[in-house]
Amino acid sequence: MCWCVGGNVKRGCWLERRDRMQRVSYDGQSMSGLYMDFCKSWLQGLLAAVIVTSVMVAPCTAQISGIVAMWPLDEGEGEIVFSTVGQGLEGTLFGGTWIEGVKGTALALSGANEYLAFLDSNVPSSIPFTISLWIRLPADAGDFAGIMWRSVGNYVGWWLGHHHSGHARLVVGHGDSYSSVSGGPDLRNGKWHQLIAVIAPGELRLYVDGELAGHAGFDKDVVFADRPLMVGGELKWMGLVGAFVGDVDEIVVFERALTEEEVKTLFTVGVKGD
């Protein structure tokens, strides 16, 4: 499976291809007469056909190594979502609505106890790792929500979401304390944004739409939570905590820390997962 996306789908490969096609011009010598006009038109058509064929079959995804799970969320119906990479990584949807996404379909979560749970998945389970996903928040999304969780509060595990003023936020727990990084623009503008969180030994990096939004260091071990991976909030006995209101699409987990160049590639042209 592969896709082609950018900060806005309309900025993806098709516009680049269209621009390249529009720059094509016929540079032949002047001709006169109906026959010569016909020949010129025929040659232009042939040249355009060759260019369209060669451009449209060109791949618009990159091969980035280290993918351990990829949930495109393109099922469009039902309560089970599947990873195109790996085995036994199915997720179960509790509530939510299928909508049109960045590519294919996506999930809309209302915050009213709606979430996606990967009950049998233990990814990621060690550092380094990278999380990538696309989100869209309404203007009234609130000040705090956890988009992806595998944590017990802040001290155990990790979570990725948005915090004060709608900025992206990444938190990792050390058992008795936590480290965090926040930054980037206010995401509550009704537009799709890509979030990428990189967690490596002693380092946190947070990207929004391919640009570094925040960076922080830490000098303690990351303590992982014995909890399932969640999308939409942290599930506790009293219900969903830090419930996410918005849309989510194209979730990818890497078992390594992506480089800045790979992050930009992932944002610009997407990744091939199988």
Q: What does the pLDDT look like over 108-128, one tens digit per residue?
A: 999 888 999 998 777 888 899
| CA dihedral angle for residue 102, residue 104, residue 110, residue 113, rounded to 10 degrees | -120
- pLDDT of 224 above 50: yes
pTM of this structure: 0.77
Outline where 173-231 has alpha helix (H): none
- Give pLDDT, residue 254: 96
The encoded tokens of residue 129 equal: 């790792």
- Per DSSP, the three-state class of 37 is helix
Q: CB of 161 within 8 A of CB of 260?
A: no
Q: Where does the pLDDT of residue 19 fall: very low under 50, low under 70, confident under 90, or very high at 90 and above?
A: very low
d(CA 77, CA 88): 20
Mean pLDDT for 217-224 is: 93
Q: Where is pLDDT greater, at 231 or 56? A: 231
- Give pLDDT, residue 21: 36
Tell which residue, 60, 64, 65, has the closest CA to residue 17.
60
What would the pLDDT profile of 195-210 be if each residue is shown by its tens digit?
A: 999 999 999 999 999 9
Lowest mean pLDDT among 13-22, 66-75, 191-200, 233-242: 13-22
Lowest mean pLDDT among 73-82, 136-145, 189-198: 136-145
Q: Where is pLDDT greater, at 258 or 273? A: 258
- pLDDT more than 70, % of the chain: 74
Domain assignments of the chain as residue spans, ordered by start = 9-56, 67-269
- pLDDT of 134 above 60: yes
- Write the CA distances from 233 to 44, 91, 116, 181, 229, integer angstroms: 56, 15, 9, 18, 10
- Per DSSP, the three-state class of 80 is strand
Give the class (CATH, top level) of 67-269: mainly beta
- Strand 229-231 and strand 145-152: the pairing is antiparallel
Segment of 165-169, 253-257, 266-270 carrying the highest mean pLDDT: 253-257
